[in-house]
A and B are shown apart, each in its own frame.
Chain A
Amino acid sequence: MNPVASREATRGAGLALEFENLGYRYAGAEAAALQGVSLAIEPGEFVVLAGGSGSGKTSLLRAGCGLIPHFHGGEISGTARVAGRPTTESGPGELADVVGYVAQDPETQIVSTTVAAELDLPLRFRGDHPAERARAVEEVALALGIPHLLPRTVTTLSGGELQRVALAVALVTRPPLILLDEPTSQLDPVSGDELIWLLRRLNEEWGVAVVLAEHRLERCLAAADRVIAMDAGRIGFDGSPRDFLAWAVTEKPELATPSALVFAGAGIEPLPVGVRDARQILRDRARSTKPSTTGGDQPPNRWANAPRRATAFRSGQAGGVEPAREPVLKAKRLWVELDPGDGPVDVLRGIDLEVRAGEKVALMGRNGAGKSTLLRTAAGLVEPVSGSVEVPAGIALLTQNPGDFLVRERIGDELSGPAGEAALRAVGLDLSPERDPRDLSGGERQRLALAIALAGRMEGDELPGLVCLDEPTRGMDRGLKEHLTELAGRLAARGAAVVISTHDVEFAVAFADRVVLLGDGEVVADADMPTVLSGGWYFASEVARVFDRPGLVSIGQGIGLLATEGSGP
Chain B
Amino acid sequence: MKKLSPIAYVPRRETVQTASLAPVALYLGAYLLVCFFSSDPLVLIAATVGVVIAGYGSGAKRAVNFSLKLGGFLALTMVVVNALVTGRGATVLARLGDWPLLGRVDVTAEAIAAGAVIGLRAMGTMVVIGVWSACVDPDRILQAVHGVARRSALTATLISRLVPLAATDYARIGEAATLRGPAASPVGRGAMAHRLLAGSLDRAVDVAATLELRGYGSSGSTARFRPVPSRYDRRFLLAGSLLMVVALAELAFGSGRFEAYPEISWEFGLEGPVAAIAFLIGGFVTWRPGNRKGRP
Q: Check if A and B associate.
A: yes
List chain A positions with a Cβ less than 8 A from chain B.
1-3, 65, 67, 70-71, 91-94, 96-97, 100-101, 103, 105, 108-114, 117, 121-122, 124-127, 153, 155, 158, 169, 173, 338-342, 345, 347, 368, 370, 372-373, 379, 381, 396-399, 401, 403-408, 413-417, 419-420, 423, 452-457
Flag the segment in B35-43, B91-99, B125-133, B219-227 that touches A.
B219-227
B213 near A455 (CB under 8 angstroms)? no
**Cβ contacts A to B, 29 pairs, < 8 Å:** A67-B213, A92-B212, A94-B220, A96-B213, A96-B218, A110-B210, A111-B161, A111-B207, A111-B211, A114-B11, A114-B139, A126-B218, A155-B2, A158-B1, A339-B4, A340-B1, A340-B4, A404-B173, A407-B173, A408-B185, A414-B185, A417-B183, A419-B183, A423-B184, A453-B179, A455-B181, A456-B181, A456-B182, A456-B183
Q: Which residue of B lies closest to A368 (CB)?
A: B1
A108 near B207 (CB under 8 angstroms)? yes
Bound-state CA distance A198–B140 (Å) is 33
Q: Which of B8, B157, B195, B215 contacts A155 (CB 8 A)?
A: B8
List 11 additional contacts besides A101-B213, A112-B142, A414-B185; criterion CB under 8 Å: A93-B217, A100-B213, A111-B214, A113-B139, A125-B218, A127-B220, A153-B11, A338-B1, A340-B2, A341-B8, A342-B10
* Residues on A with beta carbons closer than 8 Å to the beta carbon of B270: none
Bound-state CA distance A407–B181 (Å) is 14
Q: Is B292 an interface residue (CB 8 A)?
A: no
* Residues on B with beta carbons closer than 8 Å to the beta carbon of A396: 179, 181
Q: Is B180 an interface residue (CB 8 A)?
A: yes
B1 near A108 (CB under 8 angstroms)? no
Bound-state CA distance A340–B48 (Å) is 28
Q: Which residue of B lies closest to A367 (CB)?
A: B1
* Residues on A with beta carbons closer than 8 Å to the beta carbon of B182: 455-457
Q: Is B279 an interface residue (CB 8 A)?
A: no
Using C-beta atoms within 8 Å of the partner chain, give the interface range for chain B: 35 or more
Bound-state CA distance A406–B225 (Å) is 40
* Interfacial residues of chain B within 132-184, with CB under 8 A of chain A in the complex: 137-139, 142, 153, 157, 161, 172-173, 175-184
* Residues on A with beta carbons closer than 8 Å to the beta carbon of B222: 127
A416 near B214 (CB under 8 angstroms)? no
Q: Is B194 an interface residue (CB 8 A)?
A: yes
Q: Which residue of A lies closest to B180 (CB)?
A: A452
Bound-state CA distance A127–B3 (Å) is 36
A91 near B218 (CB under 8 angstroms)? yes
Given contacts A153-B11, A155-B2, contact A93 B218 (CB under 8 A): yes
* Residues on B with beta carbons closer than 8 Å to the beta carbon of A401: 172, 176
* Residues on B with beta carbons closer than 8 Å to the beta carbon of A108: 203, 206-207, 210
List chain B positions with a Cβ less than 8 A from chain A.
1-4, 8-11, 137-139, 142, 153, 157, 161, 172-173, 175-185, 187, 191-192, 194-195, 199, 203, 206-223, 225, 296
Bound-state CA distance A267–B206 (Å) is 47
B184 near A414 (CB under 8 angstroms)? yes
Bound-state CA distance A512–B8 (Å) is 38
* Residues on A with beta carbons closer than 8 Å to the beta carbon of B175: 381, 399, 404
Q: Which residue of B lies closest to A399 (CB)?
A: B176
Given contacts A96-B214, A111-B210, A155-B2, contact A127 B176 (CB under 8 A): no
Q: Which residue of A lies closest to B204 (CB)?
A: A108
A423 near B3 (CB under 8 angstroms)? no
A454 near B181 (CB under 8 angstroms)? yes
B214 near A455 (CB under 8 angstroms)? no
Q: Which residue of B lies closest to A153 (CB)?
A: B11
* Residues on B with beta carbons closer than 8 Å to the beta carbon of A455: 180-184
Bound-state CA distance A372–B176 (Å) is 14
Task: Determine how close the nearest CB of chain B comes to the CB of A203; give it in whole angstroms.
Answer: 20
Task: Determine how close the nearest CB of chain A comes to the CB of B13; give it in whole angstroms.
Answer: 12
Bound-state CA distance A127–B225 (Å) is 10
Q: Which residue of B lies closest to A345 (CB)?
A: B1
B216 near A407 (CB under 8 angstroms)? no
* Residues on B with beta carbons closer than 8 Å to the beta carbon of A416: 185
A423 near B181 (CB under 8 angstroms)? yes
* Residues on A with beta carbons closer than 8 Å to the beta carbon of B173: 404, 407
Given contacts A108-B206, A153-B11, A341-B10, contact A456 B184 (CB under 8 A): yes
Given contacts A405-B176, A423-B183, contact A122 B1 (CB under 8 A): no
